[in-house]
């Protein structure tokens, strides 16, 4: 029983880290796995700390690699966190927290709802972060709406990334559970 739980946890964690590091593969703007890994963690981890910590840790480690290896030429020193990172991380935490009740039961419909909702949550939070204190936009309701309008062209990549990575993670893990029943979650009786 304990081996089954450890194997399931290890596979889930590995999938999340693999998805997070898939960001190094060339891709369209905003086509990212990060919201999908927050959804996937909320759906499949049993402990709240796992739901919140593992996707954020995978995001941060992939950010470290991207910022300090892939884009090292653009950063003069080692970068632990990029400017404004907390808005993106906050959006992933909100996505995970809101998804916990949604994924009491995993279904295609709930994955679709989760993916589309995560796009909206990310858009709303990240654009507030872009607007606050930014001299490009007036610090008023009109300035916030202008920031949201400027973010609309990036929505296509976000929606496509959220849908694609949700399909890959949820569909891939469902297939793995079908092929290897040891990965199926054991319900407490």
Q: What is the mean pLDDT of residues 11-24?
A: 97
Helices (H), 75-135: 85-102, 108-131
Is 153 within 8 Å of 26 (Cβ atoms)? Answer: no
The pLDDT tens digits for 71-83 are 999 888 999 998 8
- State the chain's mean pLDDT as an integer: 94
The pLDDT tens digits for 40-91 are 999 999 999 999 999 999 999 999 999 999 999 988 899 999 889 999 999 9
DSSP secondary structure letter of residue 152: G
Q: What is the mean pLDDT of residues 139-155?
A: 97
pLDDT at residue 1, as a whole number: 56
Query: Using H for helix, E for strand and C for coil, what is the string for 38-88?
Result: HHHHHHHCCCHHHHHHHHHHHHHHHHHHHHHHHCHHHCCCCCCCCCCHHHH
Buried b (16+ CB within 10 A) or exposed e, 67-105: beeeeeeeeeeebeeeeebeebbbbbbbbbebbeebbee
């Amino acid at each position: 029983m304990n081996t089954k739980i450890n194997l399931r946890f290890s596979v889930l964690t590995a999938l999340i880290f693999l998805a997070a590091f898939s960001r190094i593969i060339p891709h369209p703007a905003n086509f990212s796995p990060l919201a999908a890994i927050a959804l996937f963690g909320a759906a499949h981890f049993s402990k709240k700390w796992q739901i919140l910590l593992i996707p954020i840790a995978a995001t941060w480690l992939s950010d470290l690699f991207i910022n300090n290896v892939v884009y090292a030429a653009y950063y003069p020193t080692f970068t632990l966190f990029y400017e404004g990172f907390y808005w993106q991380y906050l959006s992933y935490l909100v996505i995970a927290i809101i998804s916990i009740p949604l994924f009491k039961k995993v279904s295609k419909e709930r994955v679709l709802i989760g993916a589309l909702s995560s796009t909206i949550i990310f858009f709303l939070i990240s654009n507030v972060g872009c607007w606050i204190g930014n001299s490009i936009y007036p610090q008023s309701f009109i300035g916030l709406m202008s920031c949201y309008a400027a973010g609309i062209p990036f929505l296509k990549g976000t929606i496509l990334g959220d849908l694609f990575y949700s399909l890959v993670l949820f569909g891939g893990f469902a297939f793995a559970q079908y092929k290897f029943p040891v990965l199926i979650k054991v319900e407490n009786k």
